[in-house]
Amino acid sequence: MTNRADTRPMVYILVWLVLLALLVVTVGSAYLSLGWANTPLNLAISVTQAALVMLFSMHLRSAHPLMKIIAVIGFFGIALLITLSLFDVLTR
């Protein structure tokens, strides 16, 4: 189950450049008046950035499926907590 695949340094550098570009996009988009869409857009960019870091820098792309499950299960747990709690708050 160890990660035998190796990633070339150029891939890390490319990912880094994409991450920086996404940073510029997310900051820039905050200055655009998109109403309710600002926050989902920022979060979508965050998710994309996180996915890039996890898939490449954290070697998830070539990891055993068990690692992939463990990597996302924390996010699902928090999503569950926020969703049901918000459901309560918004329907009181």
Q: Which of residues 25-84 bind other proteins (CB under 8 A)?
A: 26-27, 30-34, 38-39, 42-43, 45-46, 49-50, 53-54, 56-58, 66-67, 70-71, 73-75, 77-78, 80-82, 84
CB 53 within 8 A of CB 20: no
DSSP string, 21-41: HHHHHHHHHHTS--GGGHHHH
CB 84 within 8 A of CB 25: no
Instruction: Compute the distance between CA of residue 83 and CA of residue 57 in angstroms, rounded to an integer.
Output: 29
Footprint of other proteins on this chain (CB under 8 A)? Answer: 1-3, 6-7, 9, 12-13, 15-16, 19-20, 23, 26-27, 30-34, 38-39, 42-43, 45-46, 49-50, 53-54, 56-58, 66-67, 70-71, 73-75, 77-78, 80-82, 84-92
